[in-house]
Amino acid sequence: MSSQQDPFEYALKSNDAWANYKGHQNPTFFPKLAEGQSPSILWLGCSDSRVPETTLLGLQPGDVFTHRNIANILSPTDLSFLSVIEYAVSHIKVQHIVLCGHTGCGGCLGALSDSRIGGVLDAWLTPLKAVRAANEEELKAIVDEKERAGRLAVLNVQRGVEVLMSTWVVEEAVRERGLKIHGVLYDIGIGKIRDLGFGNGEGKGVHQTAEVEGELVKGNHGELVFVGGGASMAIR
- Kind and range of the H or E element at 216? strand 216-217
47-61: burial string, b at 16+ Cβ within 10 Å, e else? ebeebebbebbbbbe
46 is in an annotated binding site: yes
Residue 177 catalytic?
Answer: no
100 is in an annotated binding site: no
Q: Which pTM was predicted?
A: 0.84
* Assigned domain for 224 exists: no
Q: Which residue among 67, 96, 102, 182 is the active-site one?
A: 102
What are 226's strand-pairing partners?
Answer: 231
Q: Which residue among 16, 50, 177, 187 is the active-site one?
A: 50
* Assigned domain for 228 exists: no
Q: Which residue among 67, 105, 151, 182 is the active-site one?
A: 105
Residue 48 catalytic?
Answer: yes
> Per-residue pLDDT for 167 more than 70?
yes
* Assigned domain for 149 exists: yes
Helix, strand, coil distribution of the chain in percent, nearest 5: 45, 20, 35
What size, in residues, is the chain? 236
Q: What CATH number is associated with residue 178?
A: 3.40.1050.10
| Predicted confidence (pLDDT) per residue in 4-38, tens digit | 789 999 999 999 999 999 999 999 999 999 999 99
Structural domain boundaries enclosing 172: 36-203
| Predicted confidence (pLDDT) per residue in 51-95, tens digit | 999 999 999 999 999 999 999 999 999 999 999 999 999 999 999
177 with 166: CB under 8 angstroms? Answer: no
Angle at 49 between CA 26 and CA 67, to 5 degrees: 75
| Predicted confidence (pLDDT) per residue in 169-211, tens digit | 999 999 999 999 999 999 999 999 999 999 998 654 444 332 2
Residue 100 catalytic?
Answer: no
On average, the pLDDT of the chain sits at 88
Residue 108 catalytic?
Answer: no
| Predicted confidence (pLDDT) per residue in 85-132, tens digit | 999 999 999 999 999 999 999 999 999 999 999 899 999 999 999 999
Predicted pLDDT at 201: 82
Residue 102 catalytic?
Answer: yes
Predicted pLDDT at 67: 98
How many domains does the chain divide into? 1
Separation CA 26–CA 40 (nearest Å)? 21
